[in-house]
């Protein structure tokens, strides 16, 4: 049923162009609309403008890191309901707990979970709705 609807919009906030390129390929292949922003600031602006269906958020970034971005996303009412998956290589329990407390639904370690699996996780998340 969900598949017949309009394609879902993914926003990836990530500063490494190589990774953006990789995820773009995978998600576009899987039929998502893919948007990306190189840092928290631009990510927030894009999220406000486009209201994506899901946000994938990196943690270690230059202008405005992932945690701060997440906090603002969850405060701001139009972006409040958008599910956020943290997508990072920063493995630290405290950070993960903090992120979940702030409202992140998943904490994905990039080097452990492959793009295809992330794509499947996102599809599953939308089937729930």
- Site of interaction with other proteins (CB under 8 A): 15-19, 21-22, 25-26, 29, 38-39, 60-63, 89-92, 109-111, 114-116
Least distance (Å) between residue 28 CB and other proteins: 9
Write the DSSP symbol of residue 58.
-
Least distance (Å) between residue 80 CB and other proteins: 27
| 40 or 52: CB nearest other proteins | 40
Strand pairing partners for 95?
A: none
| 42 or 74: CB nearest other proteins | 42
H or E segment to which residue 34 belongs: strand 33-37
SS3 40: helix
| Angle ∠(90,114,41) on CA atoms, nearest 5 | 50
């Amino acid at each position: 049923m969900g598949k017949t609807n309009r394609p879902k919009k993914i926003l990836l906030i990530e500063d490494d162009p190589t990774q953006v390129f990789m995820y773009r390929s995978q998600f576009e292949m899987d039929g998502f609309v893919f948007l990306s922003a190189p840092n928290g600031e631009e990510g927030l602006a894009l999220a406000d403008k486009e209201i994506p269906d899901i946000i994938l958020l990196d943690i270690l970034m230059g202008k405005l890191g992932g945690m701060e971005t997440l906090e603002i996303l969850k405060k701001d009412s139009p972006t409040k309901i958008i599910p956020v998956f943290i997508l990072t290589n920063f493995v630290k329990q405290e950070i993960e707990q903090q992120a979940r407390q702030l409202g992140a639904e998943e904490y994905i370690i990039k080097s452990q979970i492959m793009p295809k699996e992330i794509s499947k996780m996102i599809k599953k998340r939308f089937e729930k709705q």
